[in-house]
Structure 1
Amino acid sequence: MKLEAQDPQDGAPSPIAHILVQCQLGLTVTRLDPAPEGAVDTSKAGLLKELVTEWLGSLPPAYRETDPDTRWDDQLLYIPLQRRQLHAIGYMTMFGPFKPYLTKVYDSSSTGADRASREAAVDVGLHLMTVSRRLFDQVFPINAKFHIVTFLIFDTAAFLCSAIIHDKDHSLPRHEEVFRSVRLACSLVKQLSPITKTAAICYPVLTKLANSLRKPAKKASPGPVASDSISQLDSLAGLTPESSTETISPDALGGSSESIAATDVFFPASLDFPVQAMLTPPITGVSDFSDMDIGQFDQIWDWQDLDLNFLPEMPVQ
């Protein structure tokens, strides 16, 4: 318990400084009165968004999302990791109360308030995917088993898929970006799948869900005809199911992986699961999702939240 008293470099955050910052967010959130179980409270979602935004703006200079103080990044590798972890936790907290607006059917009967809340949900979800990608870049491949990496990418992408599925009148804001974000998530989880058993389970599920999506029809325009499948949509942009949108280099980790000793980095513990806990039946359609065994994810993630019961069975690929 003497770590906090140690000053690794003049003015640098200690290896446990980010825990205090996370506790401040937790105290802020617990002061909000919870909505009744199953209820959606628009005002609470908006208030929480404001509180988390204020918390993000109050982060110490080394942890800021915009123009952070990076002078210690090369020597103290735990600082860039903690920075990205804090951003991910902040936007994950912000995203939570907006999720129900991505699982509602939107048609001519939808209210303007619901549509505005969905727009906010999409904005937060897309940004959460961005910060999740930054966290992925920070830990891959040295410590890719850090459980929050797989969970955030998978969880965010699943709800973005749900938003597309429930968009009956093709009014989803930023739908092109949503499609691309889902495709990026599939690519990232695929890279994680040989390393973590949780990702190995999530990858075929997410790709099956993504392949069920259809791009909204577009008005005729000169040039090549746009495809309506999510995989074909991204192949037009030079993406393929076999690769990420970007090449992950050791530079993203602050140097060559061979030059980093385990004692040099303060990585969080992994919560990956034993093989016997990850055995699942074959996935041939959405109805199979509820029978999946995804280990301890079952304690924090529920397929029913996506409201996919009406989705037709997806063909076996």
Structure 2
Amino acid sequence: MDYLGYMGGKDYLNLASEVWLSTEIRPTPSDITQELQQAVQALPSRSLTDALVQNFLSVVNYNYNAIYPPTFLEGYTNWWADRAAKRPLSPEYTCLLLRSCALSTQAMPSKLRNTLEFELAEDPTTLPDRFHQAAELLSSNFSPGEKGLIQIQQLFLVVCWFKNAGRFIDSWHAMAKCVREAQEMKLHLDDSMMEMSEYEREMRRRMMTIIFVWDWLMSRWLSRPLLVDPVSCTFRDPTLQLESDPENPGVPSPFTNLTLQSKLIRSVSDSLSRAQRDPSEANVKDLCARVDRWHADLPPAWRRDNPDTTFDVRYPYLKWQRILLHGTVAMVEMVPTKPYLTGSASSQSRATQQYFRSFAVERALTSLREAEKAYELMKDLDPRHFYINFVLFDTLTILCSGMIHDDNKDLPHRSAVLDAIETAMRPLKEISLCSAPGATSYQFVLRLAQCMPLTPEEQVRWPFHHANKAKRSRRERSPQPMSTTKSSVEAEEGSPSTLHSTGSGAGSGSGSGSDQNSPPVQVPSLEDFQEIDFGGIEELWDWNALNIENLDPGSAEEINFTGFGGSTSN
């Protein structure tokens, strides 16, 4: 059946389980010898590869859990033994090893980075591309359905690599390849009638859960169609028994967070779609009720409030995964209530209007808190992590828009919102020191923060003020284009090195009150946004959600975005 192009159904799953694609189109060992040799040569020495693999398994893998470490390490030991004995190497494992090293080099601690730079006598930032390209060349020789589960794993690591690099559209297209390979292997179907080992069954279910969750999240972020058809999916949840240890009962599986996300998605997908199409009181409350039920069923270690942290020290991945889980949930809940916060939706009842505004603010504050926790955990390892930059940027812009639209100065938790914006700007500024997209994101949010109309009391405490005419005159006399290098963003916001000379600019200060000499106010427009290079983050973000395109020009300070873009390189 596979040979004819048919996908096996539940009534004949095992009919063609051993049938492969025609041998005429399958690569023979000689077809990939050259690519395999090039792939092997791309890897560094054994000791350096060991360090990269250790970093991948101890840090990177817990973001996605696509690899089961014991099996991977067994294959790793065998791979080196085969290489030492000059036996044929597994092309598929070589490709998977390259993918893991490519991801590992995207999130290196300083010690490992320095070691690689010293041993290789080259810039270690070139390694992610080198490993990725070598794996791409080797993987191009694999036919669909030929390499089994390991092929699906390495294809998913491609998704992760693009996402970590800020190439979100490429990541989505890579996900399409991964989904089709998984469907070719029937991972989306109930496997209870298939003959296989329990380990293989568990790993198939885990991979399909990963694909299901990330496909859904990416479709929401990128406003693109689902690649996995939920109607055709009959796969079962994994048992999570692989990591069970009788001597340490109760330790949560590192895969638990993905199973919990899968259950949430199945529960809220329809409700969220309805609430997005029609953010009515009934639809939003239905979504909230579903999320509340999901929260109520969470295991103790995964609760948002007062979680059981017994295992956090010994298993540090738990804290990181808990942060990602609840940060993601907060953003999901905020989706249908954003229009109430930004003024693009309203309710006939003022009480209902305030309820939704309050709900959106509370979820936004939760989202910021989780992002700040994530940054504290990752700042010494991978401060450019896509989740941190995106959540800080997205949530801060929404809150700034909410403040800009708060004509009556009655935004729920208004004081807490100001505190949260000020606090969250600090990690975003620190990210700007090591990432061009982060620098651009920070400068953009800074300008929105400077646009917000404040009360006299709020102006006294607000640290983000506009540059006065004297500063503007100095900038005009000494024109300097904006740079996204570390030296430029380390300077005080609004300094000549961070703002283009031809605009009115914006600065930061700690003085009390607003500048009486500030120019007429004007919020950045859609045209401004489209001209800015955010290094890929704009692919995830809906400018129209801010609803500031048609604001009264007198409601915020004039902002000039000429020369505001930055390089997409990190």
The interval holding the TM-score normalised by the smaller chain is: 0.7 to 0.9
CA distance in 2, matches of 1:189, 1:19: 27
Q: Tell me which of 377, 386, 398 is aligned to 1:159.
A: 398
Q: 1:39 offset after TM fit, Å? A: 3.8
**Kept in 1: contact 2:354–2:412 (CA 8 A):** no
Deviations 1:137-183 (A, max 9, x none): 22222122321111111111111111111111222122111111111
CA distance in 2, matches of 1:301, 1:14: 33
Aligned to 2:543: 303
Give the letter for the 1:299 counterpart.
E
2:464 partner SS: helix
Aligned to 1:314: 558
**2:466 maps to 1:227:** no
Q: 1:32 offset after TM fit, Å? A: 2.0
Give the letter for the 2:453 counterpart.
R
Give the letter for the 1:102 counterpart.
L
1:133 partner SS: helix
Q: Tell me which of 300, 303, 306 is aligned to 1:64.
A: 303
Deviations 1:2-26 (A, max 9, x none): 5841236432112222111110111
Q: CA RMSD in A?
A: 3.1
1:80 partner SS: helix
Aligned to 2:534: 294
CA distance in 2, matches of 1:55, 1:35: 18
**What TM-score results when the alignment is normalised by the length of structure 2?**
0.42
CA distance in 2, matches of 1:28, 1:87: 16
**Kept in 2: contact 1:211–1:230 (CA 8 A):** no
Q: 1:195 offset after TM fit, Å? A: 3.0
Pick which of 7-16 and 162-171 moved more. 7-16
**2:424 maps to 1:180:** no
CA distance in 2, matches of 1:66, 1:37: 27
Aligned to 2:439: 200
CA distance in 2, matches of 1:173, 1:44: 21
Q: 1:114 offset after TM fit, Å? A: 2.0
CA distance in 2, matches of 1:226, 1:29: 41
Q: 1:174 to 1:230 in 2, by over 3 A?
A: farther
Larger Rg belongs to: 2
1:189 partner SS: helix
List aligned pairs for 1:266-305, cutoff 5 A: 286-287=524-525, 288-305=528-545
Q: 1:110 offset after TM fit, Å? A: 7.9
**Kept in 2: contact 1:106–1:166 (CA 8 A):** no
Aligned to 2:369: 130
Q: Tell me which of 243, 256, 272 is aligned to 1:6.
A: 243
**Kept in 2: contact 1:35–1:41 (CA 8 A):** no
List aligned pairs for 1:227-266, cutoff 5 A: 227=460, 229=462, 231=464
Aligned to 1:215: 454
Q: 1:45 offset after TM fit, Å? A: 1.6
CA distance in 2, matches of 1:179, 1:36: 28
CA distance in 2, matches of 1:158, 1:298: 13
Q: 1:127 offset after TM fit, Å? A: 2.2
**Kept in 1: contact 2:339–2:345 (CA 8 A):** no
Q: 1:293 to 1:176 in 2, by over 3 A?
A: same
**2:293 maps to 1:54:** yes
Q: 1:166 to 1:228 in 2, by over 3 A?
A: farther
CA distance in 2, matches of 1:214, 1:228: 13
Give the letter for the 1:310 counterpart.
N
Deviations 1:8-64 (A, max 9, x none): 643211222211111011111124272387642222222212222222232212112
CA distance in 2, matches of 1:67, 1:110: 35
**2:360 maps to 1:121:** yes
**2:273 maps to 1:34:** yes
Q: Tell me which of 260, 263, 279 is aligned to 1:24.
A: 263
Q: 1:217 offset after TM fit, Å? A: 4.7
**Kept in 2: contact 1:63–1:69 (CA 8 A):** yes
**Kept in 2: contact 1:179–1:230 (CA 8 A):** no
Aligned to 1:276: none
| Identical columns (%) | 26
CA distance in 2, matches of 1:21, 1:197: 34
CA distance in 2, matches of 1:36, 1:15: 32
Deviations 1:72-129 (A, max 9, x none): 212211111111111111111111111001111799x984422332122122222222
Give the letter for the 1:306 counterpart.
L
Give the letter for the 1:314 counterpart.
E
> 5+ unaligned residues in a row in structure 2: which ranges?
1-67, 69-198, 204-239, 466-488, 491-501, 506-522, 562-570
CA distance in 1, matches of 2:349, 2:296: 34
Deviations 1:191-238 (A, max 9, x none): 1122333322211001111111132355xxxxxx96274536xxxxxx
> 5+ unaligned residues in a row in structure 1: which ranges?
219-224, 233-240, 243-281
Q: 1:229 to 1:316 in 2, by over 3 A?
A: farther
Q: 1:143 to 1:308 in 2, by over 3 A?
A: same
**2:385 maps to 1:146:** yes
CA distance in 2, matches of 1:37, 1:90: 15
Q: 1:68 offset after TM fit, Å? A: 1.9
Aligned to 2:229: none
CA distance in 2, matches of 1:49, 1:200: 35
Aligned to 1:189: 428
Number of aligned residues: 264
CA distance in 1, matches of 2:391, 2:344: 24
CA distance in 2, matches of 1:133, 1:57: 25
